[in-house]
Each structure stands twice: as C-alpha cells, then as structure tokens.
Chain A
Amino acid sequence: MTAPVVPNSGGLADVLNVLLDKGLVIDASVRVSLIGIEILAIDIKVVIASVDTYIRYLEAMQRLEATRRGVVTAAPAAQGISGTYGLLASAVPAMVAPAVVTPAAVPVEEPEQ
C-alpha cells in the first residue's frame, strides 16, 4: 500500500468545520467538552442565503437579460455590504428641494376707531 497523503494543517482546519458535530456519540454518562471551539463552527453555520446574495443574483439576471435583448448596460459601481449594485435604488428617496413656504398675507383687521 502506498503511503497515504497526510493532509496539511490548513486543509484540516477547514475540514474541522465539517466534522465538528460528527463522529460516534457515547451516552450521556460521558461528558463532552465543546467549550471554546464553537468559533470554528461559525463559518459553516452562518446562514448562506442572505438577501444581499439574492439581490446580487437578480441584478446579474437583469444584466444578462438586457444583454440577450441587445441592450448594452454597463454594470454600475458596486456598493453595499456584499457588492450589490443598487437594485433597490428606487427605494432610496430622490433628493427633494426643500419646500419654500411663503406665508400668505394675513389680513389684519384694523381696529375700528
């Protein structure tokens, strides 16, 4: 048998995310000390489907569709937490000129003499 390939430590650290809650579990009489290593599990337990991701996907679909129809649209500059392009730009209120309130002339009653 050829010598097995020993994984490097970086690979192992990545693999640990997958293996943390795996393996045979002995009954409750044997305690399991997991304190202090939860941080390793964060990567895999993060919710992967964020709204930002969905927005990015939809914007890409819109650009692809526009390209298919022959409408050339350059991708706008990325912005937002995960590089979204502003699909929700319409939700941002446009700049509105401040209303100038001109007080109407108020008739002043002259006291009768």
Chain B
Amino acid sequence: MSLYLHGVVRASHRLPDDSPFRLVDVDDLAAVVSDRQNDQVLTEQEVVAHLEGLCALLPGGPVLPLRIGTTAVDEAATRTAVVALGPPSLRHHLDELDGMAEMHVRLVFDENTALRAVHDRGVVTSRAVDVVAQGELIAREIVAWRRKEADALLAPVAAVAKAMALLDAPAHTEEARAYLVPLDQVEAACAAVAKISEVTATCTGPLPAYHFLDPPRPASRWGW
C-alpha cells in the first residue's frame, strides 16, 4: 500500500477529528497523507475528497497544497519528497499564508449587454471582411469590458483581499478570479459577492492558496 500526498502543513497542525488524512512529520513540517490502494487510479469522488479534506484543514493553520494525484511508496519516500521541496521555502510559504485562504469568484455577464457595450465604443465595425479577425477583436473588447466591470463590482472584495489572480474563464463573458483573503474576512468577501445583483455572481471558498504559491527558489549556499 502506498500513500497519496495531499499537502504540507506545520507539524503542530491539529487535524479535524473526522479528517480522512494523517500527518507524516518531517522536522517542524508535516506531509498530509492518506493510504492508497496500489495501481488504482483516482476517481472524481477521490479528487473532490482531496480538495474537501484540504479545505477542512484551513482553520487549523496554513496548508500548502500538493498537485493532485501525487503519491509516495511509503513514509520514508514521503519525507524525502518533502525535503526535496525545500523546507526553508515551505516554511516561508506557510508563514506568508498563515491565516489566509483563497476565494474564487465567478461573474457571468449577459452577452447582449457586453456586445452592446462593445458596439457603443465604436471600435468594431460590422463589416465582416474577415470573420475570425473581427470575431477575435470583438472577443478582446468583451474581455477588456468585462474586466473593467469586474474591477468595479468586486472592489469590496478587493478591499479585504491581500492579493488577486485572474483565472481562466470558459467564456468571454465570464470573469473568474482568485482572491487571497484573511480567514476572518471570508464571510465578508462572500457577503460582498452575494450583494452583486447586476450579474450572476458566485463565491467558492475558503480554499488552499493554489494561486499564490511562488515557485520554490533554491536556497543559496551563501545564505542570500
């Protein structure tokens, strides 16, 4: 039986009573693991359980998520893997993210409203000389318009957030953003999103800080 590795936390992290995970200590750090039946692939339920389990850890302290599906043959390999990530960098991340959580906000704009706004700007002519080129231009204008609208609508969320990252959206008329907010501001952020009535707005979180992890930098042997 091997292990799934879900994340890295401080060794002092208290797991919730009903957590499906356990900790493998590596000095002052710990890997969050669960048992894995060999040669089994991940199911959708397991993927959701991975994320749910990590979310449930957030009230107990900062969580650095590992890429879903990461495995190790045993606890010794798990410790080697955590050391390979660079404990100084991991400690830095944990300190940076202490008391913070990632919130995802999705805004869905009405397509006709967006097209009308783009038309009113007069940038796009309606003569379809090149359908693809014109279509791309309209799409770019829609994205620029929706981003500006989202900036205004989400200003109350930005006010309580420490950082923001733009996420890939499945349509030109959808804006998806990740905000890094203090845990005690999570409800305020969700309430601010719930107040948005102009467009369809959803808020999901708190999540581990997936979009606010800088790539680990190799430690200089000079200590710089």
Chain A positions within 8 Å of B, measured between CB atoms, are: 1-7, 9, 11-16, 18-27, 29-37, 39-40, 43-44, 46, 48-49, 51, 53-55, 57-58, 60-62, 64-65, 68, 87
B87 at the binding interface (Cβ < 8 Å): no
Pairwise interchain contact B47-A64, C-beta atoms closer than 8 A: no
Pairwise interchain contact A64-B115, C-beta atoms closer than 8 A: yes
Q: How far is the CA of A23 from the CA of B215 in the complex (A)?
A: 10
- Determine which of A24, A33, A44 lies in contact with B65 in the assembled complex, contact meaning CB atoms within 8 Å: A24
Pairwise interchain contact A12-B135, C-beta atoms closer than 8 A: no
Pairwise interchain contact B101-A24, C-beta atoms closer than 8 A: no
Q: How far is the CA of A93 from the CA of B118 in the complex (A)?
A: 33
Known: A24-B213, A30-B71. 11 other contacts (CB 8 A): A2-B187, A21-B67, A26-B85, A29-B81, A34-B69, A57-B115, A58-B128, A58-B134, A61-B118, A61-B124, A64-B115
Q: Which residues on B sit within 8 Å (CB–CB) of A9?
A: 48, 52
Q: Which residues on A sit within 8 Å (CB–CB) of B198?
A: none
Pairwise interchain contact B134-A54, C-beta atoms closer than 8 A: yes
Chain B positions within 8 Å of A, measured between CB atoms, are: 5, 7-8, 41-44, 47-48, 51-52, 55-56, 58-59, 64-72, 77, 80-82, 84-85, 101, 104, 106, 111-112, 115-116, 118-119, 124-126, 128, 131-132, 134-136, 138-139, 142, 167-172, 176, 178, 183-184, 186-187, 190, 202, 204-207, 210-211, 213, 216
- Determine which of B66, B135, B169, B184 lies in contact with A53 in the assembled complex, contact meaning CB atoms within 8 Å: B135
Q: Which residues on A sit within 8 Å (CB–CB) of B68?
A: 19-20, 23, 34, 37
Pairwise interchain contact B48-A16, C-beta atoms closer than 8 A: yes
In this complex, what residue of B is CB-closest to A21? Answer: B67
Pairwise interchain contact A4-B59, C-beta atoms closer than 8 A: yes
Q: How far is the CA of A100 from the CA of B98 in the complex (A)?
A: 84
Q: How far is the CA of A23 from the CA of B188 in the complex (A)?
A: 26
In this complex, what residue of B is CB-closest to A66? Answer: B126
The 9 closest A-B pairs by CB, nearest first: A54-B135, A36-B41, A11-B204, A23-B67, A22-B210, A65-B126, A35-B41, A57-B138, A64-B119
Distance in angstroms from A56 CB to nearest chain B CB is: 8
Q: Which residues on A sit within 8 Å (CB–CB) of B66?
A: 23-26
Q: How far is the CA of A15 from the CA of B206 in the complex (A)?
A: 11
Q: Which residues on A sit within 8 Å (CB–CB) of B72?
A: 30
Pairwise interchain contact A4-B119, C-beta atoms closer than 8 A: no
- Determine which of A15, A36, A55, A57 lies in contact with B207 in the assembled complex, contact meaning CB atoms within 8 Å: A15
29 contacts between A and B (CB under 8 A): A4-B55, A4-B183, A5-B190, A7-B204, A9-B48, A16-B51, A18-B167, A20-B68, A22-B67, A23-B210, A24-B64, A25-B66, A25-B67, A26-B81, A26-B84, A26-B85, A27-B84, A29-B80, A29-B84, A33-B41, A36-B42, A37-B68, A44-B170, A51-B131, A54-B132, A54-B134, A54-B135, A61-B119, A62-B126
